[in-house]
Structure 1
Amino acid sequence: MGTTPRLRCCICSLGLCTCQAQLYYGREATPMQNSDVLIIGGGVAGLMAGIKLLEENKSVILLEKESCVGGQCKTEVLNTKDEEYRFDYGGHRFITNNETLLAFVEEILGNNLLVANRSSVILHKNRVYEYPLNLKNLLKTAPLKLLFGASFDTLKILLKLVKRDDKSFETWITSRFGATLYKNFFGPYTKKLWGIEPKDLSADWAGQRISLLDLKDVAKKLLFKNKKTARTYAKSYRYPKYGFGELPKKMAQRFEALGGKIFLDSEVTNFEYTDNAITAVHTQNQSFKADNIISTMPLNEMSLKLGFESGLKFRSLRFLCIGLDMEDFSPHTWQYVSDYELLPTRIQEPKRRSEFMSPKGKSSIMLEIPCDKNDKIWNMDKEELLKIVKHDLKKLGFDIEEKITESFSFTTEHAYTLMDISYNKKRDDTIERLSRFENLVMAGRQGTFRYIFLDTAMETGLMAAGRILGDSSVSKEKIYNHRNEKTVIETKSVA
């Protein structure tokens, strides 16, 4: 299987890691650090806020609990002999209709910002379905029983024999797509992804993520050959040459060049606070005071540190990354695995986004496996996990046993906001209780408990900075619910 891999952060692998630059890393503790603004969390939202504030001559300190900036937007590197394979934390893409944000990302990444095209398919019962739905592929691929069931469901929906029902994810799907597609695709995949029954999942997840509105839309697209892109499916996107970890790395360098201070390995242990303000923030070795605080810490963790239980939860992911001694694994960027009995929900091939993610002439795959922190999957020995996944891949028609050069695994605790039936009330109650702290604003994906895209997370950071800088049009509520549309989340990029 090759040599023992050496795993490190992509930022370090490029020789430009900020932890080797001017960051306050491993220094002796000082009694108190003071600044105009303290930012908790070194992901793209926190860094974006910090850069904006520093440009307006505010003094800013940023705390990051990990040894590297990036948060959920990092890239891990697998080294085998003289070769490197790169793997992102998830399937990040940069798609935005914000011209200012696009200009910033293009400027900060320069020639290292590529244009990539997405190709996605659904794997179901040893069949490959194109995404979005395609009539020719559907008729060619789907078994007759599925085609008959879906056609019957479509007829009932077209005749308005089925009423819209938004009580849960299950009812949202079945009232728009019918029971056949729900039982075959949406139901099993969703249960595997979230670890709960779809009837217990909020309909918000479906409304914001399913690319076609209902079977009537599907029928129109199939029968009338409507070429319009499905509303949550943008095929072209921007992507950093060496993985998305490049973006927070460059942002951290800009942050420091503007005079900001970043403290790595600095997890917040507790707060001091009054009825309406946070007066001090403590890590294991240091203490900080600031006039204003922007936090991208997961909303449930923030509430606990400020004295109450939110009831909000996150779904975790375990990534199994495999280097392959083969030119290509498949022609697809993403392959969604809908079969409930198979562990992965998605198979990614990083070189489909950038050829520089794998050694020349070779490829790699990353399998996303949903779990909860410290459950069986989270704690499973890597070799045992690899054995199960190889068996699952064989069932899907991929025999890679003789092609594996090396493998490794890593986890992320706060991958997905768990949008159960009651999450909205729990989220609203939590935000209301935190709003009493006048000098605190939450931002980012985890901080606002929103399953938002990268550009939206960065925009919440900009909005938080704007609020501190005196923009009266930016309320906390606007930040927490920025782009919280019921139907449209992903848009076609202005790029």
Structure 2
Amino acid sequence: MSNRSPIIIGAGPAGLTAGLELVSRGVAPRLFEASGHVGGLARTPCVDGWRVDPGGHRFFTRSEAVLDVWRSLLPADQWVAVARRSAMLVDGHHVRYPLIGRDLLTQLGFRSGLYGLGALGWARLRRRTRRRAAPESFRDWGIGEFGRHWYEIFFEGYVRKTWLAEPDDLTSDWANQRIRPIRWRDTDGAAARDVFRYPRLGPGQLWEAAAAALTDNGVALSLNSPVVSLRSGSGGWTVELENGQTASGDAVFSSMPLRVLVEALEPEPPEHIRAAAAALKHRALITVGVALATRHELPFNWVYTPGRDVRVGRIQNYTRWSPHLSPAHWRGTHLGLEYFTNSDGDLWAADDESMARIVEADLRALGIGDAVERIMFVRSPFAYPVYGPDRMDSVALIREYLRTHHPSLRPMGRNGMHHYDNQDHAMLSAMGSVARYFGEDADPWRVNSELRYQESGLLKM
């Protein structure tokens, strides 16, 4: 191995990928993870054969380099092919998502369909004739994309519930990649092509394999090791852990939340940089794995619940992801209920008993109020970076400050760059950061700049 001595903060997809890239170039980093597990949000907690995927992680990409990593970590027999089928639960109807024109015109009533079509036509006409703000609010974008009627039915309540903010206070930067347009043609063909891969034991299976590969190559991976401060000097970097131990290196690759990274820097950055960091917000996520003895034939991977009658924001049907997320003997229903909250919100403060009561009330409201056979709680404090109106300017300020004053400090990944990335984007940002460390012309900040990433050109495993 070389005499380089990089430090990696965070053992999610970005941190583990950076480690694999460094090892492939003959460098053994040290890796510190604040929690007791690897994979970040893409972990798969398991108790007695019950597995919970906290976010519903689809595996798709346009990058051969990413595919090569996935293939190298898990053999072909450890992947399952999953046809995506999702729905939005509105007024008791499971309306297929991505939205399909013929469903919108008929499923919620003929009058609603005609009204929605007229509102969409008016919105498209207005979009062509007015100058668009940059960036648009999510509400303006949603009305322009779907028309006011269908936007209000499907998206306004859901965005309030999941982002915990008013749609006017969110920018639409993430929406083109995360929310697909209405399908008017070839709906059956498009659905047939919408197939992704998934590790048979959940996403954590992949990242646990990555951690094992790093350990086999001599990488020191320390769990339960939060970094509380970072100091740079003429000899490189010194990071201090919560337990008082320190480590030194010539560079730092950081996937810890960008706001937390700025707060941990010593000497303290200027006030305007600290203010920019303080403006960056996250949503927390509580995923509740629920086993019901009754078999409910729910033909969807995901069901989105925009209505106010339930607190759950999205429901995963784990059986349709992989039957191996449940014990082999199980013949009932295994669901994952996702609750979006702030780290200081009432849901986050609720103990397991209080959360169980909320879950049972939601199940009754959804008409599946069977006795709960098993329940698991998985809490993720930094699940999703919020796209508030100050995000773009704040990140730009911090990025320039780090480039100028700390060029060997390399933020990467969803939280490290405060960018709503998929797994493959997080991996690509890590690959770009490592390439730049070796003097190559790579810019990890340009990763995930495509307008409609999910729509075409995805590679098959």
Which residue is equivalent to 1:250?
Answer: 209
Q: 1:205/1:157 Cα in 2 relative to 1: closer, same or farther (>3 Å)?
A: same
Aligned to 2:151: 182
Q: Superposed, which structure 2 residues align to 1:300-311 within 5 Å? A: 300-306=259-265, 307=268, 308-309=274-275, 310=277, 311=279
Structure 1 unaligned segments of length 5 or more: list them.
1-33, 213-217
Q: Where do residues 182-331 of structure 1 align in structure 2 (5 Å cutoff)? A: 182-212=151-181, 218=182, 221-222=183-184, 224-225=185-186, 229=190, 235-274=194-233, 279-283=237-241, 284-306=243-265, 307=268, 308-309=274-275, 310=277, 311-331=279-299
Q: Give me the whole-angstrom Cα distance separating, in 1, the residues matched to 2:408 and 2:289.
A: 42
Structure 2 match to 1:125: 91
Of 330, 342, 345 in structure 2, the residue corresponding to residue 375 of structure 1 is 345
Q: What amino acid does structure 2 have at the position aligned with 1:354?
A: S
1: CA distance between counterparts of 2:381 and 2:173?
22
SS at match of 2:104: helix
Match for 2:58 among 85, 93, 99?
Answer: 93
SS in 1 for 2:21: helix
CA distance in 2 between partners of 1:464 and 1:78 (Å): 36
Aligned twin of 1:52: 21
Q: Kindly tell me: are residues 140 and 175 of structure 1, through their superposed partners in 2, closer, same or farther at Cα, counting changes over 3 Å?
A: closer
Per-residue deviation, residues 251-289 of structure 1 (Å, max 9, x unmatched): 011112222111111111112225x98531111242111
Does residue 1:362 correspond to 2:320, yes or no? no
1:382 Cα deviation from its structure 2 partner:
2.5
Q: Is 2:82 the partner of 1:113?
A: no
Q: Which residue of 1 aligns with 2:431?
A: 462
Instruction: Decide which moves more: 198-207 or 294-303.
Output: 198-207
Partner residue in 1 for 2:7: 38
Query: Under a length normalisation based on structure 1, what TM-score does the superposition of the two structures give?
Result: 0.84
Q: 1:440 to 1:148 in 2, by over 3 A?
A: same
Unaligned runs of 5+ in 2: 269-273
Which secondary structure state, in structure 2, belongs to the residue aligned with residue 331 of structure 1? Answer: coil
Between the aligned partners of 1:255 and 1:245, the Cα distance in structure 2 is 15
* Alignment-mate amino acid for residue 63 of structure 2: N
Instruction: State the 1:115 CA deviation.
Output: 1.5
C-alpha contact 1:329 1:365 (8 A) present in aligned 2: no
On the 8 A contact 2:15/2:253 being kept in 1, the answer is yes
Shift of 1:225: 4.5
Partner of 1:462, secondary structure, is helix
Deviation at 1:89, TM superposition (A): 1.9
1:338 maps to which residue? 306
- C-alpha separation in 2, matches of 1:244 and 1:327: 25
1:488 to 445, 453, 459: 453
What pairs with 1:430-445 in structure 2 (closer than 5 Å)? 430-435=398-403, 436-445=405-414
What amino acid is aligned across from residue 335 of structure 2 in structure 1?
A: I
Summarize the Cα distance change of 1:374–1:392 in structure 2 as closer, same or farther, 3 Å threshold: same
Aligned counterparts of 2:180 and 2:64: Cα–Cα separation in 1: 24
Judging changes above 3 Å, is the alpha-carbon distance between structure 1 residues 346 and 106 closer, same or farther for their aligned structure 2 residues? Answer: same
TM-score if structure 2 supplies the norm length?
0.90
How many Å separate the matches in 1 of 2:231 and 2:297?
A: 53
Does 2:317 match 1:349?
yes
Q: CA RMSD in A?
A: 2.3
Deviation digits for residues 115-156 of structure 1, max 9, x if unmatched? 111110110121110122234433442134422321211332
Alpha-carbon separation, structure 2, partners of 1:254 and 1:340? 46
The partner residue of 1:479 within 424, 444, 452 is: 444
2:393 aligns with one of 405, 413, 425: 425
**Distance in 2 between residues matched to 1:149 and 1:139, nearest whole Å:** 9
Deviation of residue 298 (structure 1)? 0.6
Match of 1:24 in 2: none
Percent identical pairs in the alignment equals: 27
SS in 1 for 2:174: helix
CA-CA distance at 1:161 after TM superposition: 7.5
Q: Distance in 2 between matches of 1:208 and 1:353?
A: 22
